[in-house]
Amino acid sequence: MTTALEQRLRSREAAVGVIGLGYVGLPLAVSFAEVGFSVVGFDVSDLAVNGLNAGRSHIDDISSERVASLISRRAFRATNDVTDLRACDAIFICVPTPFDKLKTPDLSYVEAATRTVAKVLRAEMLVILQSTTYPGTTTEFVRPILEEGGLVAVGGLSARCTELAAVLLESLMEDASLVRRVESPEVAEMAKLLENTYRAVNIALVNELAQLCYEMEIDVWNVIAAAGTKPFGFQAFYPGIGPGGHCIPVDPFYLAWKAREFNFQTRFIELAADINDDMASYAVQRIQALLNARSVSLRGAKILCLGAAFKRGVSDVRNSRAIHVMELLRASGAAVSYCDPHVPSICLAGETLTSLSVDAVATTDADLVAVLVGGEWPLTQLAARSIAVFDAVNAGGQPASLRERL
């Protein structure tokens, strides 16, 4: 039987609320608004709310033009007033899920967002926890808070609500069959963690192999390319200074924490994190050796680092390993400068550094240039001027002979 809510979701007459307008929430809100839903985005950041309502995006993937167009058509608006969520038929929770110093999950944002939903909750409202978290969060943590007011949640938790969520998400897909229904929130939560953990473990494996290959004087990049010729069973991962960002270094620890409740140790997760975390120090050792070979000591050396974001082409510096490498270099007495066209400034040991322009890289007087993140870097000119280049990412388009690769 099709209910009024399902009808509203299918016809896109439903109002969608998104709590948390960051890297995940804003693209989600914009996508729903662009396919015809009326969308309200709720965020505790006045800066984000005011900027969005003035047509300014603060997220790389979403242009200000897209936001401005939706705002002017009243298809989307941002708010920090909880009561604006009251009319929503469906609400997504997209708030951060960090961990603390002991790598214990910090669900305070999820709790605050859930309490926000609880204030406007009514029967026939679909609530979807979009934040990445450990299996059981929806059932054990979010559900009891929502039910404190006396309403009983049946969602995701029941076939009907899974169906409603799928109907809503299918409206964002050209191919509706790409939306997969699973039998419980725990399966969905665990699937996301499996995917992130899979990447963390495979990146660690190739990082370890890169170190061995260096000792054995084997080119790891050629090894990966050759292994990739196998038509099945192999997926290429590449070495580097370790994965940063909000997901890979964080999410597996949500699982490791939850596993302890079952007296279970997730050894792969911890080993992978150890190896990946060590890659920044390993890169510094290799930089030091390269300088040494030129009779330059790391202390006092001028080092220009290329890339500051956690990956190529973004401005996001959360858990940036490039910044960590810069911190280690500076702690060893090097004079560090950097270039990242997406990151105008960074804070290094309490000091603000501003990015050099890409053009300035070609004429640098640094003792060594360290490529920490992929990008269009002018390495050829550096080699012509005999500047040492340490390349942690196998920057494309340049002969390998121009640089020492990880």
Ligand X SMILES: NC(=O)c1ccc[n+]([C@@H]2O[C@H](COP(=O)([O-])OP(=O)(O)OC[C@H]3O[C@@H](n4cnc5c(N)ncnc54)[C@H](O)[C@@H]3O)[C@@H](O)[C@H]2O)c1
Please, which residue, 37 or 310, has the CB nearer to ligand X? Answer: 310
**Residues 307/372, Cβ–Cβ less than 8 Å:** yes
Q: Which stretch binds ligand X (CB under 6 A): 90-98, 291-299, 374-382, 387-395?
A: 90-98
Residue placing its CB nearer to ligand X in the complex, 19 or 290: 19
Residue type, 120: V
Given 53, 64, 103, 112, the residue binding ligand X (CB under 6 A): 112
Secondary structure element (H or E) that encloses residue 280, with its range:
helix 267-293
DSSP annotation of 126 reads E
Tokens of residue 279, six digits: 């890659």
What CA–CA distances, in Å, run from 245 to 93, 124, 317, 318, 364? 20, 36, 7, 5, 29
The distance from CA 224 to its chain's CA centroid, rounded to whole angstroms, is: 25
Cβ distance to ligand X smaller for residue 105 or 239:
105
In the set 32, 42, 76, 253, which binds ligand X (CB under 6 A)? 42
Residue number with the shortest CB distance to ligand X?
22
Stretch that binds ligand X, among 39-47, 143-151, 299-307, 331-339 (CB under 6 A): 39-47
CA distance 4 to 11: 10
Q: How far apart are CA 168 and CA 336, in angstroms?
A: 49
Told to check if 97 binds ligand X by CB under 6 A, we report yes
CA-CA distance, 146 to 326, in Å (whole number)?
A: 45
Closer residue to ligand X, CB minimum distance, 109 or 134 = 109
For 390, the token pair is 């340490």
The reply to whether 109 sits near ligand X by the rule CB under 6 A is yes
**Contact assessment for residue 365 and residue 302, using Cβ atoms and an 8 Å cutoff:** yes
> Per CB under 6 A, does 320 bind ligand X?
no
The Cα 390–Cα 405 span in angstroms is: 6
Tell which one of 5, 14, 16, 24 touches ligand X (CB under 6 A): 24
Among 15, 31, 43, 169, binds ligand X (CB under 6 A): 43
Contact window for ligand X (CB under 6 A) among 20-28, 230-238, 277-285, 293-301: 20-28
Question: Dihedral angle at the C-alpha atoms of 182, 185, 186, 191, nearest 10 degrees?
Answer: 50
Q: Which of 20, 243, 244, 374 is close enough to bind ligand X by CB under 6 A?
A: 20
> Considering 247, 305, 339, 347, which one is annotated as catalytic?
247
Contact call for residue 172 and ligand X (CB under 6 A)? no
Closest CB to ligand X among 29 and 305? 29
Binding mask 215-254 for ligand X (x = CB under 6 A): -------------------------------xx-------
Tokens of 38: 């009326």
Element (H, E) at 8: helix 4-11
Question: Which residues are bridge partners to 405 per DSSP?
Answer: 391
Q: Residue 339 catalytic?
A: no
- Cβ–Cβ contacts within 10 Å for residue 136, how many? 15
Q: Angle at Cα 192 formed by Cα 89 and Cα 149, nearest 5°?
A: 35
94 binds ligand X (CB under 6 A): yes
In the complex with ligand X, the residue whose CB is nearer, 80 or 355, is 80
45 belongs to the binding site for ligand X (CB under 6 A):
yes
Cα separation, 274 vs 354, whole angstroms? 31
Footprint of ligand X on 46-85 (CB under 6 A): 48
Options 31, 38, 57, 116; binder of ligand X; rule CB under 6 A: 116
Catalytic residue IDs: 247
Residues that bind ligand X in the complex, under the rule CB under 6 A: 19-25, 42-45, 48, 94-97, 109, 112-113, 116, 131-132, 246-247
